[in-house]
Chains A and B, each alone.
Chain A
Amino acid sequence: MSSLARPAVAPEALLAVHDIEVIYDDAILAVAGVSLNVNKGAIVALLGANGAGKSTTLKAISGLVTADRARVSRGSIHFLGKDTAGVAPNQLARQGIVHVLEGRHVFSQLTVEENLRSGGFLRRLGRRELERDLERIYAWFPRLKTKRKTQAGLTSGGEQQMLAIGRALMTRPTLVLLDEPSMGLAPIIVEEIFEIVADLNRRESVSFLVAEQNINVALRHAHQGYVLDTGRIVLSGTAQELLQHGGLHEYYLGGKAGEAVPATRAE
C-alpha cells in the first residue's frame, strides 16, 4: 500500500451533480433540485433525516434508481467529466463508481470470501491478481480474514458492513457511495469503520460520498458536507463550518424546513 499523501492542489471535480430531480413510479418526487460536488480525494458527507432523499441521491449517482423503477427526470450527473445519463449501473461500476447500499446487502448465502471475490469479477482479473487484491482487503479488514469461510449472513452487523465495503473496494473504485454505514451498529464499531474509511481515503486516495444521519461522526471524518431536507440541499460547506453551524440539528427535527437558509459554499 503506497501512502499517497495528497497535497492540497487545485481540486478537480470527480463528481458533479447538477440540479437533479428523481421521480419514483412516475408519480412520487423524492429528490427535487439537488446539486453537489465531490472532488478527487475528498470525503463528502451527505446529511439529513430519514426520508430526506439521501439514498435516492446516491442511487441516482450509481444508476441504481432504475432498479427501483425510478428515474432522474431533470438535471445532470457528470462523473469524470462525462454525463452518466442512461449508463447502466454495471457500466458505471466499471468506470469507477461503486455503491455500498443502505443495510449492507451482503450476499448472505455466499461465504465472506465469495462475497469479496464477486467484487473483483468486473475487472476480469487473473487468479493471482485476484488473490493479491483479496489479501489487500484482508489487510484493511483483518476480521474478515478470520471469517472467510463463514456464510456472510451469519456474521455480525459490523462485519457485514466491513464486508460490503471490502466487496466494493474489490472493484478498485475511484468513488465509493456509502449509504448509512452506521445503521444499527454500536458506536465503537461505527468509529472503527469511519477510521478505516478515512485511512483508505488518505492512503489509497479513494473518494467517498457518505450518506449519514449520524452528523457528528460523519463530519469529524469528512472534508465537506451537504445537508438534505425533504429532497433539497439546504446547507453546505466544509465539515468545520457545518459543525459550528448552530442550526444543523434543527433539520433533523424539521424545525427549519422551508425557511430560507444561506448556504455557505466553500470550495
Chain B
Amino acid sequence: MIFFLETLIGGLLAGTMYSLVAIGFVLIFKASGVFNFAQGAMLLFSALTFVSLQEHGIPFLQSLLLTVVVIVIGAVAIERAVLRPLMNRSQITLFMATLGLSFILEGLAQGLMGAEVRALDLGIEDTPLMLGEVMVSQFDLVAASTAAVLVTVLALLFNKTHIGISLRAVADDTRAALSIGINLNRIWQIVWAVAGCAGLVAGLLWGARQGVQFSLSLVVLKALPVLIIGGFTSIGGAIVGGLIVGAAENLAEVYVGPSIGGGITPWFAYFLALVFLHVRPAGLFGERAIERV
C-alpha cells in the first residue's frame, strides 16, 4: 500500500512539472486561438538567459528580474513582427509562424549563449523526505508548490484585474472586445509576456533537474498530452491534466511496465491522450460554447 502511495504521489508531483509547461500554451491559446509551438523555445531561451546571467556573477534575484525584462521585450517584439502582420489569417498560418519562430529562438539562444549543457542550481536539495511512512522527493514538492503559487497568481490576475477581464473578453469574443475599445495588440503583448514568464518558471525547474540545454525545448512535447486531456482553454485543466499524466505514467511504469517489457513512460501519456480524444475531445475542462437554444 505504501509503495502504491509513493508511486502515486511521486507521479502526481512529477505531473505538476508538465502542468507548468502546459500553462504557457493555455494562456496564448485562450487569448489568440494560436497553438504556440514556440513555447518550448521560449522556455529554453529564458532558462538560458537566466543561466548566462548567473554565470556572469549576477545574483539570483537580479538575474530573474533581468530575464523577465528580456521576456517582456521579446513578447512585444514577437507581437509587432510576427503576430500583428498576420492578424486575421488562418490558424494554420499562425501555427506555422510560431513553428518558424521556435527555430529562430532556439538558434538565437544557442548562438548567443552557447549550446553546451549548463548546470542550473536553484539551491533546492533533491533529497527524499519522509511524510509519515511515505517517501517524497523534496524537489518535486518545491515544483508542486511553485505550480500552486503560479496558478493562484494567474487566477487573481484573470479574475480581479482589468487586464485579466480584458484577456478573458478577448478570448471570448475578439470582435466584441475590439468594438468596446480593448486594444488587442496590447493584450497579445501581455499574454505573450505572461506566457513567457510561465515558461521561465517551468524552464528553471526543468533546467535544474536535467541541465539547461537544447533538449529543454522538447519538454513541450510532454505538454501536448496534458493539454489534450485537460483541455486547451483551461489553466485548471492544465493542472489536472498534468497530474493525471504524471500519476498514470508512474503507475503504468510500475504496475503494467514489467509485463510488457518496461520503458512505457515515454509513450504512455500519448496513449492516454489518444483515448481521451475519442471519449472527450474538448478535454476535461475545455470550454464548450454556451448557447441558448
Is A15 among interface residues, defined by CB-CB distance under 8 A? no
Would you list which residues of chain B between 79 and 132 have a CB under 8 Å from chain A?
88
Is A216 an interface residue when CB atoms closer than 8 A count as contact?
no
Contact at B88–A69, with CB atoms within 8 Å?
yes
Q: B168 an interface residue at 8 Å Cβ cutoff? A: yes
Q: Is the beta-carbon distance between A67 and B166 smaller than 8 angstroms?
A: no
User: Which of B162, B169, B174, B287 contacts A110 (CB under 8 A)?
Assistant: B169
Query: Is B260's CB within 8 Å of the partner chain A?
Result: no
Interface assignment of B182: CB less than 8 Å from any CB of chain A = yes
Q: How many residues of B contact A (CB 8 A)?
A: 25
Expressed in whole angstroms, the Cα–Cα distance for A135 and B249 within the complex equals 53
Q: Mark A177-219, 1 if CB is under 8 A from B, else 0.
A: 0000000000000000000000000000000000000000000
Complex CA–CA separation, A170 to B180 (angstroms): 9
B169: chain A residues at CB < 8 Å are: 107, 110, 114-115, 118
Q: Would A110 and B168 count as touching, CB distance under 8 A?
A: yes
Q: Does A101 reach chain B (CB closer than 8 Å)?
A: yes
* Contact status B178-A107, CB under 8 Å: no
CB-nearest residue of chain A relative to B164? A114
Contact A109 B287 (CB under 8 A): yes
Task: Tell me if A56 is interfacial: C-beta within 8 Å of chain B.
Answer: no
Among B168, B176, B179, the one with the most A-chain Cβ atoms within 10 Å of its Cβ is B179
Closest residue on chain B to residue A179 by CB atoms: B179
CB-CB under 8 A from A99, the residues of chain B are: 179
Report whether B178 and A64 are in contact in the complex, using a CB–CB cutoff of 8 Å.
yes
Q: A105 near B: Cβ within 8 Å?
A: yes
Residues of B within 8 A of A62 (CB): 179
Residues of A within 8 A of B292 (CB): 153-154, 156-157
Tell me, yes or no, whether A238 is within 8 Å of chain B by CB.
no
Which residue of B88, B168, B176, B290 contacts A105 across the interface (Cβ within 8 Å)? B176
Q: How far is the CA of A100 from the CA of B291 in the complex (A)?
A: 19
The distance in angstroms between the C-alpha atoms of A154 and B289, with both chains bound, is 11
Interface membership of chain A positions 34-56, coded 1 if the CB is closer than 8 angstroms to chain B and 0 otherwise: 00000000000000000000000
Across the interface, which residues of A come within 8 angstroms of B289, CB to CB? 108, 153
Instruction: With A114-B165, A154-B290, A157-B292 as known contacts, state yes or no: A171 contacts B175, CB within 8 Å.
Output: no
The reply to whether A105 and B173 contact each other, CB–CB distance below 8 Å, is: yes
- Is A228 located at the chain interface by the 8 A CB criterion? no
Given the contacts A117-B165, A118-B166, A107 and B172 also touching, CB distance less than 8 Å: yes
Given contacts A107-B173, A109-B287, A109-B290, A100 and B88 within 8 Å (CB-CB): no
Interface residues on A, range: 35 or more
The 8 A CB mask of B128-170 against A (1 = contact, 0 = none) is 0000000000000000000000000000000000100110110
CB distance from A131 to the nearest CB of B (A): 14
Cβ of B184 within 8 Å of any chain A Cβ, yes or no, is yes
B111 to chain A, nearest CB (A): 36
Bound CA–CA A168/B179 (angstroms): 8
Task: Check A121/B166 contact, CB under 8 A, given A151-B290, A157-B292.
Answer: yes
Query: Is B181 among interface residues, defined by CB-CB distance under 8 A?
Result: yes
A67 touches B175 (CB 8 A): yes
Q: Which of A66, A90, A106, A110 has the most CB of B within 10 A?
A: A90
A122 within 8 A of B: yes
Q: Is B210 an interface residue (CB 8 A)?
A: no
For the complex, what is the distance from the CA of A90 to the CA of B162, rounded to whole Å? 16
Q: How far is the CA of A157 from the CA of B184 in the complex (A)?
A: 27
Indicate the member of B171, B174, B292 with the most A CB atoms within 10 Å: B292
CB distance from A120 to the nearest CB of B (A): 9
Roughly how many angstroms separate A115 CA and B168 CA in the complex, as a whole number?
A: 10
Are the CB atoms of B174 and A118 closer together than 8 Å? no
A99 to B182, CA, bound (A): 12
How far is A217 from B86 in the complex, measured between Cα atoms in Å? 42
A98 in contact with B175 (CB, 8 Å): no
User: Knowing A107-B169, A109-B287, A157-B292 touch, does A89 contact B162 (C-beta < 8 A)?
Assistant: no
Interface residues of B, Cβ cutoff 8 Å to A: 88, 162, 165-166, 168-169, 171-184, 287, 289-292
User: Across chains A and B, which 6 residue pairs bring their CB atoms closest together, nearest first?
Assistant: A93-B181, A153-B290, A122-B181, A105-B176, A107-B172, A99-B179
Interface residues, chain A, with chain B CB atoms under 8 Å away: 62, 64, 66-69, 89-90, 93-94, 98-101, 105-110, 114-115, 117-119, 121-122, 151, 153-154, 156-157, 164, 167-168, 170-171
Q: Sample 21 A-B pairs with CB under 8 A, ordered by A number.
A: A62-B179, A67-B175, A68-B88, A89-B179, A90-B183, A90-B184, A94-B181, A98-B180, A101-B176, A105-B173, A105-B175, A106-B176, A107-B173, A107-B176, A108-B172, A109-B290, A110-B169, A121-B181, A122-B182, A153-B289, A154-B292
